[in-house]
Amino acid sequence: MAHGSREVVELLVTWAVTTAWAFAIVIGDEKDLDEEELGNAWPPSSRAIAIVGISWLVLPLHFARTRGGWRSFRAFGWKLVWLCIGLGCVVGAAIECDYVISALLWVVEALGIGS
C-alpha cells in the first residue's frame, strides 16, 4: 500500500471509530440521566453536530455539562470525576482505533490491495 494511502485509511478509520464510540457513549449515557441532567444535555441536533465535529472531545464536555453545576465544592469535585470518566472513554476509543487500524492494515497488506 502506498504511504499516502495508508495515512488516509488510518485517518478515516480513526474518525469513524471514534465518532461511532462517541455517539454510543453519549446516547447510551443520556438514557440513564434524570430530568435535570437531561435538561443540561445537548438537544439531539446540536449533539450530532458536536459529536461529528469534534468527535472524542465531546465526551468530557458531555459529562461536564450533564453532571451538576459549578456552584459548590462538592459539585465541582463530581464534575472533575465525570470529566475523568469522559477522558477515560477517550483513551478507550484511542486504543480501540489502534486495534482496528492494525487489523484493517493487516488485511489490506495480506490481500495485496494497493500494491
pLDDT tens-digit series, residues 8-25? 777 787 788 778 888 888
pLDDT at residue number 59: 78
**Ranges of the chain whose pLDDT falls below 50:** none
pLDDT at residue number 50: 87
pLDDT at residue number 61: 80
Q: Which residues lie closer than 8 Å to 108 by C-beta, 6 or more apart?
A: 1, 9, 114
Q: How far apart (Å, rounded) are the C-alpha atoms in residues 40 and 62?
A: 9
Among residues 28, 3, 24, 9, the alpha carbon closest in space to that of 97 is found at 9
User: What residues make up the domain containing 96?
Assistant: 3-111
pLDDT at residue number 89: 76
Please give the tally of structural domains in the chain: 1
State the DSSP H helix or E strand holding residue 28, giving kind and residue range, or none if neither. helix 3-30
Q: Is the pTM of this model over 0.85?
A: no
Among residues 37, 34, 84, the alpha carbon closest in space to that of 59 is found at 84
pLDDT at residue number 93: 75
pLDDT at residue number 75: 63
